[in-house]
Amino acid sequence: MSTNKKEYMREYMQKVRKLGKVIHWREYSKRKQFKIEYLEKEVQSLKEDWLMCDAVCDQKEFKIRELNKQVKELKHELKHK
């Protein structure tokens, strides 16, 4: 065992890192950055899904309006015959 506190801490941290109990701050930063990027991509994907669904809903709404208009026209024709 080292008599110097700094050396002792260095040795101790190396041992616990080898055991997997503690990760180096650089590794911790890489993992956090990876998680941030993953979450940002997930958010972007959900936004794109939302926009796609919104576009489909708009198309469906337009189709419903067209069909309702046709129904009204046909009902009007039937009344006036």
Every domain of the chain and the residues it spans: 5-79
The pLDDT of residue 32: 94
pLDDT of residue 13: 87
pLDDT reported for residue 81: 67
Tens-digit pLDDT profile for the chain (81 aa)? 556 788 888 898 889 888 888 888 888 999 999 999 999 999 999 889 888 888 888 889 999 999 999 999 988 888 876
The whole-angstrom separation of Cα 33 and Cα 37 is: 6
> pTM for the whole thing?
0.54
The closest of 61, 60, 56 to 48, measured between CA atoms, is 56
Residue 21's SS3 state is: coil
pLDDT value for 42: 94
